Amino acid sequence: MGIFIFILGLLIGSFLNVCIYRVPKGESVAFPPSHCTSCSTKIKSYDLIPVISYIFLGGKCRGCGEKISIRYPILELFTGIMFYLTYIQYGLTLYTLKFIILISILIVTAMIDFDTHYTYSYITYSGIAIGVIFMLIEKFYLNQAIITYLIGLGIGVLVIGAIVFLTRGMGEGDIEIAALCGIFIGWQNTLAMLLLSFVLGAVYGITLIIFRQKSRKDEIAFGPFLAMGSIIAIFWGNRLISIYSGLFF
């Protein structure tokens, strides 16, 4: 089953690449079929095999020889690995389905934010709606308390919202991403997610400044760090909270 989940992740990752490229352009993610962005040649089905096709094609379009970004197979492989790790940790359960959906939404949102510094509300709000559905399923079918998810949403909105409106150091789209993460992962993991995102964002920003790739006045998309923090929290959030609590209490 683990191999099947991994392959599913590769296939979903390929579709996520399409979303990341087409959504900012206002194009349909379904039509037209996949084609080379340079020569517009329709890509054959045997050239659409995640990761493998890239390797056999030597990273170039079969039609025009234009280089294909290495980001495509990397994202496919990353998605496959995340799906597999989620299955290994949570098994064949509702939580695995919930978290692979969240991870997929976060990958699209984070990469679009990284490329364009823009968050598409219809993606984040749709994700929040899906999170609410999972919350209700857990409540009525698994008899799980939903308060942890509502508090998680509230913490995400309040913390990131305060930063946005008091300092203007982030965009309003970051509030939506934080809310999305909170409704899926609960309040404890939301705390871990926020801590991780601030640390990762700071390290990234300082590194860019040191190497003079950015100045202190330049904007840096924070959505990717919220996404990374959330994904890490899915796997190790409780452990990180325990370690952090042990250091100070």
The per-residue pLDDT for range 182-236, each reduced to its tens digit, is: 999 999 999 999 999 999 999 999 999 998 887 777 788 999 999 999 999 999 9
- Claim to verify: residue 235 and residue 172 sit in the same structural domain: yes
What's the CA gap between 179 and 135, in Å, rounded?
A: 14
- The answer to whether the beta carbons of residues 223 and 113 sit under 8 Å apart is yes
What's the CA gap between 171 and 242, in Å, rounded?
A: 31
What's the CA gap between 111 and 119, in Å, rounded?
A: 10
Q: Is the sign of the CA dihedral 243, 229, 237, 241 positive or negative?
A: positive
Q: Report residue 43's pLDDT band, with 50, 70 and 90 as the boundaries.
A: confident
For residue 65, give the DSSP letter: -
- Claim to verify: residue 121 and residue 181 sit in the same structural domain: yes
The gap between the terminal CA atoms of the chain, to the nearest Å, is 41
Summarised one tens digit per residue, pLDDT across range 82-112 is 999 999 999 999 999 999 999 999 999 999 9
- Claim to verify: residue 224 and residue 111 sit in the same structural domain: yes
pLDDT at 242: 79
How many independent structural domains does the chain possess? 2
- Claim to verify: residue 113 and residue 227 sit in the same structural domain: yes
Domain range for 8 is 1-91
- The answer to whether the beta carbons of residues 198 and 208 sit under 8 Å apart is no
- The answer to whether the beta carbons of residues 108 and 123 sit under 8 Å apart is yes
Final residue belonging to a domain, choices 59, 91, 123: 91
- Claim to verify: residue 164 and residue 42 sit in the same structural domain: no
- Claim to verify: residue 61 and residue 97 sit in the same structural domain: no
Q: Report residue 237's pLDDT band, with 50, 70 and 90 as the boundaries.
A: confident
Provide the CB-side half-sphere exposure for 23 (13 A, CA): 21
- Claim to verify: residue 106 and residue 55 sit in the same structural domain: no
pLDDT at 249: 60
pLDDT at 248: 64
What's the CA gap between 78 and 84, in Å, rounded?
A: 10
Based on its alpha-carbon atoms, the radius of gyration of the chain, rounded to whole angstroms, reads: 19
Cis-peptide into 50, omega within 30 deg: no
Coil, strand or helix at 201 = helix
Q: Among residues 235, 139, 239, which one has the least CA distance to residue 183?
A: 139
- Claim to verify: residue 173 and residue 226 sit in the same structural domain: yes
